[in-house]
Structure 1
């Protein structure tokens, strides 16, 4: 079986249409349709039920989908293993990261990473926590670092836990919510919330706003800035706000979910051999978060 035909089948099954899969893959719709028809002819089985422009997996398509995904992952792993044995590592690595960890820490780590692996070019871009997994899945970046809000078993993505990170519901110290010994659901729901926004098309219940009134930003730093200047509350990672809690600029809201823990992870494609620089980065981030 042709792997490109299998990839076409998996992509169309995931996106529900040939046009959307072609857009994601940046390829021709006709070529994608022909690949699926070639696979169906080889298997002598229809993999989709077609109704106008809509495509749904047939019973056969549903039965073989997971195996096709696994086959693509295995093929990727074989390629990565051979590259590793040859001693080949990507000369250019793209990394996405959220801003749960302060910018100055990332700048220091970036400079050390560059000095330690001078033969590799590292491109580090800022992204919303909710988009990290999707950026790796769609191969826009090679690796991503940040808070894992996905909580799904996705065979295409490998999640490497680095450390637990504490998330805190906070407001300005002089905000009415900060004065209460106990904050009810109703009071919190009726207060303006600054929440995390992301472009990933998949709904993520972990990132749904709690309040009836809310404004969204893709950056924790923007959330923090708005909390400090507006009568609003939001959920922020401890590394970003510890100094503001210590000097009592911010207050932790005394609510059932005022303090929670999330996993800080490295995201990578399943079967992808990690660049040694990424393993080094995991160690340094783990050391940093250990103090929290």
Structure 2
């Protein structure tokens, strides 16, 4: 049994298809199938139940899946530790972030990051909150920063909470909802909701629509514009909307879950060596959230 066989097993288990796994791993389908057959032969058991082109884990496959994920995570940590000992840092770092914190803050931090660590090129992309963990787990980015709605036990990801962020159910200051002393579930479900949508196939119940009528966006800023102009309501982070609340353009809905708190996290691939620039950035975000 070797790591390439274990990686093939986990990727096919995640995608349910040899062809999809081959595309994700950028390798030949035949090579991937042979790796699984060799692994099944060595373990003397079938790891998948086959139905046409669809593969699902057998009972034996389910039993070893988590251990195989842990094995890959351990391998990544070993490689990163050796890289750290040799003093090697990535010359290029990819970062995903959501827009739960003001854009002006990110512009300032990005410029300071670039000036403080000139030897590294930083690529910062905006992503939906619900996709951050998946972008790190699938190695599309090195680090991600944003609201963590539902932390899962995933050996591929390390979660580093940087502070609490308050999430508020809000509507425009002229919406009929803000005139009610108490908003019931039934009333709220009948109103148009602006919701967060994401590409990750894994369902996140925290991001599912509450209302029967809704429109979805991949950013909080788009949600905010819709709430202000389209007679909708939605759940938004306080740092993004504080000035609107002060100006009474927005109002907090008097609902049971009108105010909640979530962790604002740095998402890192397990075993990933933390670039000194990311340590600096995490500290600055922590200071902002603490002062906020």
Tell me the TM-score normalised to structure 1 length.
Answer: 0.97
Q: What is the aligned partner in structure 2 of residue 66 from structure 1? A: 66
Structure 1 unmatched runs, 5+: none
Question: Could you tell me how far 1:217 is from its partner in structure 2?
Answer: 0.4
Moved over 6 A (4+): none
Shift of 1:205: 0.4
CA–CA distance in structure 2, aligned partners of residues 23 and 259 of structure 1: 43
Counterpart of 1:165 in structure 2 is: 165
SS of structure 2 residue aligned to 1:112: helix
In 2, distance between residues paired with 1:268 and 1:22? 25
How many matched pairs?
292
Measure, in 2, the Cα distance between the counterparts of 1:155 and 1:290: 28
Q: Distance in 2 between matches of 1:198 and 1:285?
A: 24
SS at match of 1:267: strand
Match of 1:285 in 2: 285
What SS class does the counterpart of residue 183 from structure 1 fall into? coil
Counterparts of 1:174 and 1:58, CA distance in 2: 56
The 1-side partners of 2:50 and 2:176 are apart by 57
- Is residue 96–residue 143 contact of structure 1 (8 Å, CA) maintained in 2? yes
2:213 equivalent to 1:213 = yes
- Stretch moving more, 27-36 or 173-182: 27-36
Structure 2 residue 21 is the aligned partner of structure 1 residue 18: no
Query: Cα deviations across residues 218-259 of structure 1 (Å, max 9, x unaligned)?
Result: 010000111111111111000000011111111000100100
Give SS of 1:95's match.
strand
* Equivalent position of 1:179 in the other structure: 179
Higher mean alpha-carbon deviation, 86-95 vs 1-10, is at 1-10
In the alignment, the residues of structure 1 paired with residue 228 and residue 50 of structure 2 have an alpha-carbon distance, to the nearest angstrom, of 53
Write the distance in 2 (CA, Å) between the matches of 1:2 and 1:58: 20
* CA RMSD in angstroms, aligned pairs only: 1.2
Aligned to 2:53: 53
Matched residue, 1:270 = 270
Counterpart check, 1:193 vs 2:193:
yes
Cα distance in structure 2, aligned partners of 1:124 and 1:227:
27
* 1:191 alignment partner, SS class: coil
Tell me which residue corresponds to 2:88. 88
Q: How does 1:84-123 map to 2 (within 5 A)?
A: 84-123=84-123
**Cα deviations by residue, 1:150-172 (Å, 9 ceiling, x for unpaired):** 33111111111111100001111
Q: In structure 2, the residue corresponding to 1:159 is in which secondary structure?
A: strand
For each residue in 1:136-189, what CA deviation from the matched residue of structure 2 results, as whole angstroms up to 9, or x when unmatched?
A: 111110110001123311111111111110000111111101111111111111
Cα deviation for residue 49 of structure 1 reads 2.5
| Equivalent residue, structure 1, for 2:124 | 124
CA positional deviation for 1:115: 0.8
Q: What's the CA shift for 1:126?
A: 0.2
Distance 2:133 2:290 in 1: 24
Q: CA deviation at 1:68?
A: 1.2
Equivalents in 2 of 1:126, 1:247: separation in Å? 27
Aligned-partner SS, 2:76: helix
* Deviation for aligned residue 1:3: 0.8
Match of 2:222 in 1: 222
SS of 2:200's equivalent in the other structure is coil
Q: Are the counterparts in 2 of residues 45 and 60 from structure 1 also a CA contact under 8 Å?
A: yes
Which residue does 1:154 correspond to in 2? 154
State how far apart, in whole Å, the 2-side matches of 1:269 and 1:147 are: 17
SS of the residue 1:174 aligns to: coil
Q: How big is the shift at 1:89?
A: 0.6
Structure 2 unmatched ranges of 5 or more:
none
